[in-house]
Each structure stands twice: as C-alpha cells, then as structure tokens.
Chains A and B, each alone.
Chain A
Amino acid sequence: MLPGLTARWQQIGNARLRHTGHTSLYARQMPLDPSFVGRSYPPTPAYLVGREKIREFAKAIGATDAAYHDPDAARALGYADVIAPPTFPTVVSFASNNAVVDDPDLAIDYSRVVHGDQRFQYTRPIVAGDELVGRQTIEEIISRGGHDFITTRTDITDSTGASVAIAWSKLVVRGEG
C-alpha cells in the first residue's frame, strides 16, 4: 500500500497514466536520482503582493476577517496593510516549484504527479506591498513501492532578504504499471 494514498487515488493515478501515456519527453524507467537532493534553483522574479490580490484570495476561500480586507483593521494589529490568509504563500511557492517540476535533468513526468503533502512555516503573515522571492531546494527524494516521493522546499523572503515563510511540498511521482 502506498503510504498516504488511498486506493481511490491509486486508481485515479492509473487512469491518468493510461490516458496520458508516455507523452512526456522525459518519460523514464528509472527512479528519481537521489543525488538531486540539495539541488537549489535560481530565485523567482519578485512577486509584488497587491491588496486586491489578497482580498480576492480571501474572498475565494470565504475568509471574512477584517484584517484580510480592511487596511485599518490590519494596522490595528500592527501591520502596514491587509494581511494574507495562511495558505496564500502557495501563490509564490506554486510558481517557484515549477523550476523543479520542469528541470530536464531531474526529468519528472508530470502526468504521473499527485500532490501528497503540504506544509507552511511562518515567520510573519504576508502583507500587501511585500515583494516576495521564492528559492527552491530539493530536500528529499525517496523511492518506495515503485513510486517516487520528492519533497521541495520554498524559502520565501521579502525585499530585505528576511524570511517570511517556508513552504514544503511533497509530490508523489507514480511508478509505471
């Protein structure tokens, strides 16, 4: 049994595999190379966090706390502008993670990828006006039961270089068959 994945997900993965087949240029037979652990990627271009983007994100998840919408409410908590809900760093880490997923040397077949785990560790909330940069590192590669598990870490920093949050994503790359 694939840890953390239910039989239903495995069925889905198999069906996805049948559909997409070997269309990837990088379809491979071998497990992901664990020597890629520690590899890091160039920082993403700075992402300027807009007040309306935070409001849009908060609205999309139904988060009504005034600090997400009203700059005065956020200022009352000691922030310069509206703050973002806890999973907002995904806007930066999702884009940053493409560096790994698209790395031709690593050769992940994205048609086999399922999002396994996600973690965020926060130094402070993201605030409108932040200019955020993501730096991507491969932290772990495990092959087990014919599947690969790759954990990537995104260090998200502001324009002063100070840490804002760290995001970890574990992707499951399903094996053949």
Chain B
Amino acid sequence: MELPTKKYPVTRADLVRYAGASGDFNPIHWNERFATKVGLPGVIAHGMLTMALVGRAVTEWAGAPDAVLDFSVRFSRPVPVPDDESGTEIEVSAQVKSTTDEGHTVLAITAVCGGEKVLSQARATVRTSRLGK
C-alpha cells in the first residue's frame, strides 16, 4: 500500500527555528560564510530536521501522535536550503513493507529533495489501527 505523499517546505527561517528548538547550533545550518568555507554548496538543513519532518509524515499517516515504536534513517545526501523566500522542499512518501508478529506495520520511507533521495534505509514501525484512514 502506497501512502499519500507529503511535501514540506524548508526555509532558512525554519533552520534557525529548528536550531533553537533542538539545541544543534552547528553553523553549517545557518551561516553561509562558514558553510561555504567548509566546502558545502551553502547552508544545509539539519539531518535531524529532515528526520523530524519524516516523523511528522509518519504520525500523520498513522493517525496518532504516539503511534511510532521504532524509527530509523540513514543520511545519504545533504539538503541545501537557498537564501530566498521559498527555500527548498522535502517530499516524503512511504509504502507499507510488512507486518510484525505483534501486528505492527513497518513502513519503507523515501525522502526526496531536488529530485535526489536524501535518506536511505528509512523505516518506521507504527501501531496501525488507523493507518491511512
């Protein structure tokens, strides 16, 4: 079963807000000068912000804020965020992969930015009484 794709815009302002909320103040996520100096294309999103947005999609699909039992990702590619009003966009989709012995659902998740997969091996196990409804 394919779950409905979700699109999340990410702007520089979102990165600043996430830095404060999470406590991750690494300057590659807010300082263009620093990011460029260390060889990045520019300021990039926190990997953990991408994971948080995927978590948001998963709880929305599951229909419950407390449905997630296990959640894992591999950060395969950075998410550059341009310094303009629209920033960038992360597109999250998932397929139901399997059901565990306990009756929980395992989702195989894809996160794409600018046509490239930014996560690999992203999985979530959720309690699924309301999945997709």
What is the interface of chain A, defined by CB distance below 8 A to chain B?
A: 4-6, 8-9, 11-12, 14-16, 18-20, 53, 56-57, 59-63, 65, 67-68, 77, 79, 83, 85-87, 90-91, 94-95, 114-122, 124-125, 168
Contacts and interface: CB of A to CB of B under 8 A. Distances in A.
Contacts of B73: 117-119
A15 B68 contact: no
B82 interface: no
| Nearest 9 interchain pairs by C-beta | A15-B39, A119-B72, A60-B21, A86-B55, A65-B65, A61-B52, A67-B65, A87-B52, A60-B17
A117 B52 contact: no
Interface string B48-83: 110111011011000011101111111111100000
**Chain B contact residues (Cβ within 8 angstroms of A): what range?**
35 or more
B94 to A, nearest CB: 14
Given A94-B48, A117-B75, 18 more contacts: A4-B76, A6-B76, A12-B40, A19-B39, A60-B18, A61-B49, A63-B52, A63-B65, A68-B65, A77-B64, A86-B55, A86-B58, A90-B24, A95-B23, A117-B73, A120-B72, A122-B70, A125-B65
B14 interface: yes
Nearest to A13: B39
A60 B120 CA distance: 24
A59 B120 CA distance: 26
Question: Which of A12, A86, A91, A117 lies at the interface centre, i.e. has the most chain B CB atoms within 10 A of its CB?
Answer: A86
A121 B21 contact: no
28 contacts: A4-B76, A8-B78, A12-B38, A12-B39, A59-B21, A60-B20, A60-B22, A61-B18, A61-B52, A61-B56, A62-B8, A65-B65, A83-B65, A83-B66, A86-B68, A86-B71, A90-B22, A90-B24, A90-B48, A91-B23, A94-B22, A116-B74, A118-B51, A118-B73, A119-B71, A120-B70, A122-B68, A124-B66
